[in-house]
Chain A
């Protein structure tokens, strides 16, 4: 299949997905389940990654800044802005594309090859709407919490470095992360992540929904979901950065 065929089939799937749910009660129940499964269950991995990246970033910036003209608080400032502008939205979503994307694609792919989706279609259930919409809604709703959680974790990681090493004092680090704070960067990061979450959930669902064959094909669908979600996120990042920061 060429790119245009994929785009066409993806568009048709999204059209089916964004229909009015047949039963709102079931849709809300499914959405809360997905919030837990895709969102809340990603909190530990987000914490671990952000904490360590924040710590390493602080160390590297501090060690690289040798110019005596640069104030000491620059380390905190640069750590904060790097986390806010890129890490907590783009890099975090690339990591989540691996975790959440493969989870979605393999789950839906398994449902497809074991005829569970066919069973829904025969009953007259809009399977795309029933299975995919709660995943998109759940993940998009929860991603702002993950981003903010990642911001705090990353900054705390840097703070631990200031406590545990003599590279920077805690007071200088805290002064740095407060200095010249641009509130918009937080919103910018959250807005970007909402787009990325939609890409992860919808693209992964697409590859899972159209999986066919056996276990090997579900594996392929899962890999394609992660690779293509990541590529789209990177391209979208350029466009959103231009639109939101220009």
Chain B
């Protein structure tokens, strides 16, 4: 479980996060949704520790980030896995070496066990025959899978995904969503996904937080989403008329 307490973050004069408090639950896919520029990425970067919040605190299973020493923070980082928007695979390494990288840096396993673990993770995400290929030699969907394999190689407690569907076709998008959900359930992780893809919201949104201009505007589940009486949320969710009609028909049905 990750708990945010009154998180504030500004860049010079611009206040990007205006006191966000919420709880991301364990074993669930927690979604952060909102328009571009609403502060989703900054929020995610604060939670993973890439940005230091100006005030407020983050609790990882009741451990306060602000009170942690350097060593504790480093240890905490080995419990985090992250899937970046552009996959962020190391392009000078093969796919297998990418997955091996965190194991080589932090694991005490023997070399053969590390390779075994890396191959298990790659097999788990459905990448069996690409061990020796470089990231530039595989498709965008496969890169996302490889990035997920790298993120889970150290059995993380927390998984963060920044727009996992960006740049993917709808079919691959659905497969990536399903994979994230399966892995979250299998590893009992706290998964936080930053997205504005409504298909993902409908598929994965066990807990949804809607951010509007740096403030938490609404939170609930995907079931609550379509009954919500929040104008700003409705404007965002039903921006597509096709999506609005489809959901109306579904509810009528």
- CB-based contact B80/A122 at 8 Å: yes
Partner among B77, B86, B91 whose Cβ is within 8 Å of the Cβ of A123 = B77
- CB-based contact A122/B82 at 8 Å: yes
- Other than the known A114-B86, A115-B86, A124-B77, what 19 A-B pairs have Cβ atoms closer than 8 Å? A23-B105, A26-B104, A115-B84, A115-B85, A116-B89, A118-B50, A118-B84, A119-B82, A119-B84, A119-B88, A121-B50, A122-B48, A122-B77, A123-B78, A123-B101, A123-B105, A124-B75, A124-B105, A125-B105
Partner among B85, B89, B91, B106 whose Cβ is within 8 Å of the Cβ of A124 = B106
Asked whether any CB of chain A lies closer than 8 Å to the CB of B49, the reply is yes
Complex CA gap A123/B160 in Å reads 12
Q: Which residues of A from 9 to 56 have beta carbons under 8 Å from B?
A: 22-23, 26
B residues at A contact (CB < 8 Å)? 48-50, 74-78, 80, 82, 84-86, 88-91, 101-102, 104-106, 160
Q: Which residue of chain B has its CB nearest to the CB of A22?
A: B105
Complex CA gap A116/B101 in Å reads 12
Interface size for chain A: under 10, 10 to 19, 20 to 34, or 35 or more residues?
Answer: 10 to 19
20 A–B contacts, CB within 8 A, in A order:
A22-B105, A111-B90, A114-B86, A114-B91, A115-B84, A116-B88, A118-B88, A119-B82, A119-B84, A121-B50, A122-B48, A122-B49, A122-B80, A123-B78, A123-B80, A123-B102, A123-B106, A124-B75, A124-B105, A124-B106
**Chain A binding surface, main DSSP class:** helix
Q: Which residue of chain A has its CB nearest to the CB of B101?
A: A123
Chain B residues near A110: list those with CB within 8 A: 91
B120 to chain A, nearest CB (A): 19
B40 to chain A, nearest CB (A): 15
Q: Which residue of chain B has its CB nearest to the CB of A124?
A: B77
- CB-based contact B105/A115 at 8 Å: no
Q: Which residue of chain B has its CB nearest to the CB of A123?
A: B102
Chain A residues near B90: list those with CB within 8 A: 111, 116, 119
Complex CA gap A123/B158 in Å reads 12
Pairs of residues from A and B, 5 with the lowest C-beta to C-beta distance, nearest first = A124-B77, A115-B88, A119-B88, A115-B84, A124-B74
Complex CA gap A26/B106 in Å reads 12
- CB-based contact B88/A26 at 8 Å: no
Partner among B48, B76, B82, B105 whose Cβ is within 8 Å of the Cβ of A26 = B105
